[in-house]
Amino acid sequence: MGYARGRCPRYPETEARDAVRFLIGRDQDELIRIDYVVERDHHPYSHGTLEYGRVLGSFTNAIESPVLARQALAYVISYLRRRPLAA
């Protein structure tokens, strides 16, 4: 367990992040807002907000990093399994 950068030979040398933390900021009116923080060396490196449309079944804003996009999609799919409809 822990951070892989600098310790795992398979970890990409060009990867700037150690971890990404996601949380649901709001789930209302068919739109899910997901806030995220990217960490590096145990400190915040960058952050942002994503929006996922339940009707569209996709993110409504562009995600520049393909890795972040895949991680965010995995997070929202997991969330939707637990909370199919907003409370």
What is the pLDDT, as a whole number, of residue 11? 63
- In degrees rounded to 5, what are phi and psi of residue 79? -60, -45
Instruction: State the pLDDT at residue 29.
Output: 87
What string of DSSP letters covers the chain?
Answer: ----TTT-TTS-TT---SEEEEEEEEEETTEEEEEEEEEETTEEEEEEEEEEETTTTEESS--S-HHHHHHHHHHHHHHHHH-SS--
| Cα(74)–Cα(21) distance, integer angstroms | 12
Q: pLDDT value at position 65?
A: 87
pLDDT of residue 16: 65
> Scanning the structure block, which residue is given the tokens 């709001």?
26
- Each residue's pLDDT tens digit in the chain (87 positions)? 456 666 677 666 665 667 899 999 999 989 999 999 998 877 888 899 999 999 999 999 999 888 899 999 999 999 999 987 755
